[in-house]
Amino acid sequence: MSFKKDFVWGAATASYQIEGAAYEDGKGMNIWDDYCKIPGKILNGDTGDVACDHYHRYKEDVALMKQLGIKAYRFSISWARILPDGTGKVNPKGLEFYKNLVNELKANGITPYATLFHWDYPSKLMEKGGWLNSDSPNWFAEYVKTVVEFFKDDIPNYITFNEPSVVIGCGYVITEHAPGIKLDNYMLVPMAHNILKAHGMAVKIIREFAPKAKIGYAPASNPIIPPNHDANEVEAARKKYFGVNDPINWVWSPSWWGDPIVLGKYPEDGLKILGKYLPKNYEEDLKLINQPIDFYGHNIYQGEYVKEQNGVAVNLPNKVGYPRTAIGWPITPEALYWGPKFLHERYNLPIIITENGLSCHDAVSLDGKVHDPNRIDFLNRYLLQLKKAAEDGADIAGYFQWSLMDNFEWAKGYFDRFGLIYVDYQTQKRTPKDSFYWYSEVIKQNGENL
């Protein structure tokens, strides 16, 4: 047994992180355009103004995707490029850019997976309170309708939201991402509810205008890893992973963001502490939120090791000198076993890993190549665990490596390099890294060489 025959091997990016062209062709401003202008917010004062200049170089980038051999490409659509004010007037140039990209992908045999929201929220709508405004699901619905009416099934796969936990957690709790406003549960819980409603409305619209398209969602989590695999430990890990019992850390919970969508209800334990912040009619909204979807996407980079103590999973401290990536995230390959396994058990939907990867301190060597053995080793270890999850019965439908190319890593600017392709930001020269050729071989052999 191995990966399915039609396994979706892909790579992912996001609009603000690669496109650049921030002030071109009628694009409106978004909260990342604004946030990058605030001194001290982004490392080295970097911005996404130019990024990888993908807006102008998409043909070269698609040619590289073809060389890589990916079957699918996950990109995101910039809301303010389509609707500069977030609602109202449509920017035809914005639609044209994505149409050209989609056509180029198809001409090269690559299947588009379009994420409708990957964090670049229109500034004009932020002025009205953003996701806190109870009209915000309608604003999102208008944008989604504009996109889907235009593309219909030409985009065969839509992903509604990328990592809503990070939208709220990093944007409004930790405040290291745009808009960087500290809020508490009075506002955070209704905001999360509005995002879930917006997801439900988007799914309905996609079903109406693109009935053949597949629909997914791309939340994120750090799976809980029971290292000894014994039954009690596994059960304790499962409980911890899906438990919602902390008035601050609920924002990172996979079940708060997943259960309403797939199971049509908020997790009981979470309701005990957070129910009082939900709008009065929230149960009615759950019908809207609980639209059938076709696959459960999940972004997984790292997990947490635990031990079982009296039925409870307790975090194990990181060992001295534990392996970690350049950005500092622990290397925990089993996260790609336990995460998909637990999620598949709970939601019973095909699982697609919509992001996984690492940052390294990559550089162009004297020989003109980019040698990144750490990335190859990381991906190899994680993919072996994913393969094991599939062998043990989880329905794993695809895997998107983050990222196709080095790009603007939010608050860390250009300091961290996540790509299979090295980008020289001075010249915009692209250099495929060693991992690019390695991943290409994995795809060719459908993971048999892992």
Q: Give residues in contact with ligand FCB (CB under 6 A).
A: 14, 17, 162-163, 166, 220, 299, 355, 402, 409-410, 418
C-beta neighbour count of 444 within 10 angstroms: 12
Identity of the residue numbered 426 = Q
Among candidates 120, 107, 40, 41, which has minimal Cα distance to 77?
120
Q: How far is the CB of 416 from ligand FCB (least distance, A)?
A: 8
Nearer to ligand FCB, 17 or 222 (CB): 17
For ligand FCB, the closer CB: 119 or 277: 119
**Closer to ligand FCB at the Cβ: 51 or 210?**
51
- Residue 163 CB, shortest distance to ligand FCB, in Å, is 5
CB atoms within 10 A of CB 302: 21
Report the DSSP beta bridge partners of residue 11. Answer: 73, 401
Between CA 331 and CA 154 the distance in angstroms is: 38
Taking the least distance from each CB to ligand FCB, the nearer of 34 and 153 is 34
Catalytic residue set: 163, 355
Integer Cα distance of 289 and 195 in angstroms:
9
Using the Cα atoms of residue 127, residue 130, residue 135 and residue 141 in order, give the sign of their dihedral. Answer: positive
CB of 317 to ligand FCB, least distance (A): 24
Q: Judge contact between 387 and 3, C-beta under 8 A.
A: yes
Q: Which is nearer to ligand FCB, 172 or 418 (CB)?
A: 418
Are the CB atoms for 100 and 107 separated by under 8 Å? no
- If the CB atoms of residues 27 and 298 are measured against ligand FCB, the closer one turns out to be 298
Whichever of 173 and 205 has its CB closer to ligand FCB, that residue is: 173
Instruction: Name which of 76 and 157 has its Cβ closer to ligand FCB.
Output: 76
CB 379 within 8 A of CB 401: yes
Report in angstroms how near the CB of residue 160 gets to ligand FCB at its nearest: 14
Distance CA 235, CA 226 (A): 9
